[in-house]
Structure formats: structure tokens, C-alpha cells
Amino acid sequence: MTGFVLRRLGAALLVLLALSAVVYALFYLAPGDPARLACGERCNPQQIAQVREQLGLNDSVPTQYLRFLQGVLAGRDYSGGAGLVLHCDAPCLGFSYQNDRQVTELLLERLPATFSLALGALVIWLVIGVGTGLLSAVRRGGLTERLLTVVTLAATGTPVFILGLLLLMAVCAYLRWLPFPTYVPFGDDPEQWAWNLLLPWVTLGFFESAKYARLTRSSTLETLAEDHIRTFRAYGVGERALVTRHAVRGAVAPVIALSAVDFGTMIGGAVLTESLFGIPGLGKTLIDGVRVVDLPVVVGVVLTIGTAVVIAGAVADLLYAVADRRVALA
Amino acid sequence: MSVLTTGPVPAAGVTTPAAGTGRQVWRRLRRRPSAVAAAAVLALLVLLALAAPLFAQLTGQDPNAYHDDLVDSARGGVPLGSFGGISADHWLGVEPGSGRDLFVRLLYGARISLLVALGATALQVLLGVAAGLTAALGHRILGRFIGGVTDVMIALPMLVLAIALTAVVPPDFPRPLLLVLVIGVLDWGGTARLVRAQTLSLRGLDFVEAARLSGNGTLRIARRELLPSLAAPVITLAAIKVPTNMVIEASLSFLGVGVKPPTPSWGQMLSSAQTWFRADPAYVLLPAGLLFVTVLAFTVLGDGVRTALDPREGSRLRVGTGKERTT
């Protein structure tokens, strides 16, 4: 088990290192001069040269990359010109070209909104998705099963923003059950926080629910067909107890594992939902950064999201291994 | 989690192509009403998209021509007339604000959607097959390296990287081509993994062994023996990829980092439609409906192709197959 954990974590670290190198190379070696971008539109060549010196863009690429890594792991200092030294703390991702703030600080500000969105969606798919899946596994051929087929068909591949747009249109514009959502931080007003996030949660959670319903259903059915369940049944354990006490246990491992992956992906990947509902999270930061070509912000978001996804993948595998020892032995 | 179901290689693969002849597959596909309906919808859409300039001429509408006289500037640019300004000249009405003809713009949008989805899929298949074959047949170290790269590609958040990449590309680079390249280059990992696994299991089979003993080189074996057997799984995967790629294009354009105006695209229309929910619902519903139907049709057709190529596999869209795709 320890060996498995170490190997899995080592692989995750390697992927992260590869990601950072690729992202760094792509963004700082691409056409378009970072110094010019950092300096702004109205810079003369001298100023650009000065910025280039300050950002260390005259050094060789490997040196620049190593310094970038050093910044992430231990922090680094930038010379601000005229003997001024700007210090950038440990996970240092540089300074935004737009407002000279530390990228790490910007991202930390945006994290709660993204986290709020992902958390609600997680609750929805765990309750609705897993509930529906269990129900349709127990009552095969019933109404839930047919409903599930239809929803699954519609949800396979449909872009999430179509559902979001239609919900906004129906609930906010026509029925007027809710005002158009504006994000309210949890700390300010928990009730308003929830009401304003309701539609984004439903949008994001709905499609995921279909996936989880199918997953729960198939893994429950698989477990119900196993030998030990047959033995229990032969000993006279009731159907209800079989499902609630025994089959669920087998069904839960893949659900937990996939939830970890999806939750990690959502920490970064809910760009569309955030953008549609105006939630000031990581995804929206990415889009805003891309619009004004704010490279440190873009690189920072990509690395943060990549880290979230890779960690989630590793956690999922570990959880799976805990739930099912055979994985670790393979 | 990342365990791939390679599936056993059909025993029939030794004497005949794995999936049966093209005609058999075609017959199986035709027996599925859902696949036939989806194919019909898509054929119609492709025809309409191809004929977009023709329709533009027929209705006398340029996709990018503004008509200030057709929108009510006093009410912020709501189209005059009912249902978004439908008239003999403007079959589906006009865009609010600009007054551009909606029907012709939707058709030109379909061209972009189809072009990017199919182009990106072709590129993914090309890269994936090349990488997968090289990983399976090349030197051991090369194989491990490509396998590692493939794993990294699969682990990365594709949409996020695609968005970020659009930031560093010069603004005058043609956007549809850029989307094809970005989607194609970022998302070939799945194909590569599938091809590698299939090739590894095919490699030990008698007919490949026989070809090798007859003195054929690796390249020739790959082309003559392996590629035909790989066709079925690769076509299946490609068929599933097309709607996914279409959604990614629409998403990028929706986010404002895909196709740039004035070139029309469905995702971009949906993005600007957000301010017209009440004033002009047709402007929301038409692109949304088209995108939904197209993606659904591609998904259903892809599922049909999959079952036609491998009849022992059940439909992926029916519940309970246990082999769900995660998007």
C-alpha cells in the first residue's frame, strides 16, 4: 500500500512538473514580447528594455524557468528599478500586468467563489444522482430507469451553457421566481449566497447527476450480482437490507473516486458556468486574463487548475485503492 | 480509474476484418432507426451549411450586412415585427441590435461548427494513431516516453488550456484554423492510448506474426496488417469525438475566445443572446436549439456507428452498460 501511494504521488509530481514546463515555455516563448505586454501600450523602447531587465527576460530560457520554479517553491525578489526590491512570497506566480498585484493573491481571492460553486454541485450530484441511480437499480425497468435513459441521452454532450441559458431565461426572465444571480460571498450573507448560487448549482449538478445515476446504477447492479450477495440472499437476508447494507458499500467506491476527480476538475473547469452566471471565480479570472493577455494571471490560473486536477486524480486513485485493495496490488 | 477496457480481439479478426465488411456494417447501421434519423438530420444540416452562400443569394441577404431600419432603436434595438422580425426577406428574423439576417448567419455558423468539429477530429485521429502506433511498435524507451506524454495529455484540463492558448496566438491568425489546431493538438491522448493498447494486443496474433516471418518490415506491417484491424475502434472513437469537439468550439466561442466577430458562430450568438431573453427570445432559442439538435444527432449517430461496428457491445446511451464516458 505504501509503495502504491508513493508511486502514485511521484507520478502526480512528474505530471505537474511537465505541466509547468510546457505552460511556461508556451506562454513566454510565444510570439508577442512579454516585456511589451507587461509595460503596456504607451511604452517607449527604453521603458520596454527596462522592464525586460527587471523581469529577467534577457537571461537564457532554462534560467528563467528555474527562477520561475524557485519563485513558486520559495518566493523571489524582483528589482523594481531605482534600487527598489519587490518581494513575492512563496507560491510566487509573478505580478499581474494589469494592476501589479501578486497573482497568488488574486487567485486566493477568487477561490472561495469557485469552491462555493463546486461544493453545491457536488451535493446535488451526490444526492440526486446517487439517489436516482440506487432507485433505478432496485426497481429495474421502472419509470426512473426510462427517465434516466432520456435524461442521459439529452445530457450526453449537450453544452452546459445551453441548460444554464434556458434556466436563466425561464426562471429569471419569464417566471421571475429569482432575480438574475449576482454572487454574494458566504461571509456577507449566507442566505443570499445560497439563493444566488442556486441556478448555477442546478445547471452544473444536473448533467453530472445523470452521469452519477448511471454509475451508481451499474455498480450497484454489479455488486448485487456478486457471490457474497447471493450467499446473503440464500441465508434469508431481506432485499431491502441487501441493498442498503451491502450493495451500497460496493457501489460507493467508484462514486467517491469519480467525485474526487470531478470536484477537482470543477475547481478549475467550471469556466462556462462561472462565465454565464457572472461568478467571480478562477474560470472567470482566466477568461478576463486571456482577454487582456495578462500572461502571469493566465499561467497562474492554468497551473492552479492543473494542480487541482492532478491532485484530485491522485486522491481518487488512493481513495479507490482504500476502498478496493485489489487496485493497490495490481 | 484510468484502466482502459481494451476488449478482447475478436477471434474472427484472424481471417476476416474485425468488424465485418463495410457492407455488413452499413446494413447494421441502417437497421437502427435512431441512427438513420440522426444521419438524415445531419445530412440536411451539412447540405444547408454547404449551400449557405446560395441561400444568402436567394434571400438577398449578406450575413454581415447591418439593417438599422429593421430594429427599433428606441427600444434598444429589438427587431421590428413578430417573432424576432420574421418576414419574406428574413426567414428567421434578424439579430437584435444589428439587424443582421439571422437565417443566413445561422447557416454560416453551421459551417464553422462543422468545419471545426470535423477538422479537429481528423487531426486528433491522425496524431493519436501516429503516437499510438509509434508507442506500441517503436523502441521500448520511446514507447514509455510517448505513453507518459499520453497520460499527461489525458490528465490535463483541456478546455482551460485551450482558452489559455488563445491568449498567446497573434490576433490576425485565422480563428477557425486556430480552433482546429488547439483542439486537435490538445486532445489526442485518448486515441493514442486506445491505438497503443489495441496494437499491443494485435501484435501477438498469428496473422501479424505470419507477416513478420514473411520478412515484412515494421512500417509495412503497421500499414497492411494493423491499420485495417484498428479501423473499427478508431472510427468508433472518432464518431464520439465529433460532438465533443463541436461543443468545445461552441464553448470557446461562447466565452469570447473562439471565432471572432463578425464571423458568425452559434456559441458567439448564444453569448450575445444573454441580454435579449425577454425582448427577443427567438434569438436565444434558435442557436440553442440548433446546437442541441446537432450535438444530439452526432451523439446518436456515433452510438449507432459504435454498435454497428461491434454488435456485441450494447448501446452506450442505454443505462447500465457500465462503460460511461466522462466529460
Chain B CB contacts of A203 below 8 Å: none
**What average pLDDT does range B240-256 have in this prediction?**
91
With CB atoms and an 8 Å threshold, state whether A265 touches B291: no
Which residue blocks in chain A are alpha helix, DSSP H?
Answer: 2-29, 34-39, 45-55, 61-74, 103-124, 130-138, 143-155, 160-167, 190-224, 227-234, 239-241, 248-269, 271-277, 282-291, 295-323, 325-329
Winning range, highest mean pLDDT, from A253-262, B14-23, B156-165, B295-304: B295-304
What is the reported pLDDT for B69? 74
Which of B288, B295, B324 minimises the CB distance to A157? B295
Q: pLDDT higher for B179 or A220?
A: B179
Are B277 and A302 inside 8 Å of each other by CB?
no
Instruction: For domain A103-329, give the fold.
Output: MetI-like fold (1.10.3720)
Chain B contact set for A153 (CB, 8 A):
296, 299-300, 317
**For residue B16, what pLDDT band results from cuts at 50, 70 and 90?**
very low
Comparing alpha-carbon positions, the chain B residue that sits nearest to A221 is: B320
Q: Which of A14, A211, A299 sits opposite B326 (nearest CB)?
A: A211
Q: Chain B residue with minimal CA distance to A14?
A: B152
Interface of A with B in 64-123 (CB under 8 A): none
Q: CA-CA distance, B92 to B108, in Å (whole number)?
A: 14
SS3 label, residue B122: helix
Amino acid identity, residue A82?
A
Q: Considering only residues B237 and A269, tell me which one the structure prediction assigns the higher pLDDT.
A: B237
Q: Do A293 and B167 touch (CB under 8 A)?
A: yes
Best residue in A151, A156, A294, A304 for a mutation probing chain B (most B CBs within 10 Å): A156
Q: What residues of chain A lie within 8 A of the CB of B170, using their CB? A: 31-32
Say if CB B242 and CB B118 are below 8 A apart. Answer: yes
Cβ-based neighbour number of residue B299 at 10 Å: 25
**Beta strand extents in chain A (DSSP E only):** 76-81, 84-88
Q: Which domains does chain B carry? A: 22-321 (1.10.3720.10)
Nearest CA in chain B to A310: B155
Looking at residue B325, what is its pLDDT? 36
Residues of A in contact with B116 (CB under 8 A): none
Contact (CB<8Å) B251/A257: no
Buried b / exposed e across B43-70, counting CB within 10 Å, b at 16+?
eebeebbeebeebbeeeebebeeebeeb
- What pLDDT score does A32 carry? 67
Residue A254: closest C-alpha in chain B: B1
Cβ-based contacts under 8 A for chains A and B: 162
Residue B142 scores a pLDDT above 50: yes
User: What pLDDT is attached to residue A327?
Assistant: 58
**pLDDT for residue B12 is more than 60:** no
Question: How many whole angstroms separate alpha carbon A6 and alpha carbon B135?
Answer: 26
Domain ranges of chain A: 32-92, 103-329
Q: How far apart are CA A219 and CA A227, in angstroms?
A: 15
Half-sphere exposure of B295 (CA within 13 A, CB side): 27
pLDDT of B31 higher than 80: yes
Distance from CA of B304 to the nearest CA of A (A): 13
Any chain B CB within 8 A of the CB of A18? Answer: yes
Pick from B152, B295, B322: which is nearest to A15 by CB?
Answer: B152
Binding-face residues of A in 115-174 toward B, CB within 8 A: 136, 145, 148-149, 152-154, 156-159, 161-162, 165-166, 168-169, 172-174
Contact B247, B295 (CB under 8 A): yes
Question: Distance (Å) from the C-alpha of residue B231 to the closest C-alpha of chain A?
Answer: 24
Shortest alpha-carbon distance between residue A118 and chain B (Å): 16
Least CB–CB distance from B155: residue in A161, A302, A313: A313
Measured between beta carbons, the chain B residues lying within 8 angstroms of A265 are 157
Task: Give B188-214 pLDDT, tens digit per residue.
Answer: 999 999 999 988 888 888 888 888 888
Contacts of B277 (CB under 8 A, 6+ apart): A168, A169, A172, A173, A174, B284
Contact A158 B327 (CB under 8 A): no
CB contact under 8 A, B250 and A159: yes
Nearest-by-Cβ selection for A166 from B168, B250, B288: B288
Decide: B63 and B106 in contact? Cβ < 8 Å: no
Give me the tens of pLDDT residue by residue for chain A, a chain 330 residues long. Answer: 788 888 888 888 888 888 888 888 877 776 667 777 777 777 788 888 877 777 777 777 788 888 888 888 877 777 666 666 777 777 888 888 877 788 888 899 988 999 999 999 999 988 988 888 888 887 777 777 777 777 777 776 678 889 999 999 998 888 888 888 888 888 888 888 988 899 999 988 887 888 888 888 888 888 888 888 888 888 988 877 887 777 777 777 788 888 888 888 787 668 889 989 989 989 889 998 888 888 888 888 888 888 888 888 888 888 877 776 665 555
The cell for B289 is 436549439
Chain B CA closest to residue A37: B168
Kindly list the residues from chain A whose CB atom is less than 8 angstroms away from the CB atom of residue B319. 136, 145, 148-149, 152, 213-214, 217-218
Residue whose C-alpha is closest to residue B193's, from B154, B163, B244, B222? B154
Which of A15, A153, A279, A329 to substitute to test the interface with B, most B CBs within 10 Å? A153
- Mean pLDDT computed over every residue of chain B: 82
One-letter identity of residue A168? L
Q: Do A162 and B155 touch (CB under 8 A)?
A: no
Residues of B with CB below 8 A from A168's CB?
274, 277
Phi, psi of B278 (to 5 degrees): -90, -40
Paired residues of B71 in beta bridges: B79
Comparing alpha-carbon positions, the chain A residue that sits nearest to B240 is A157
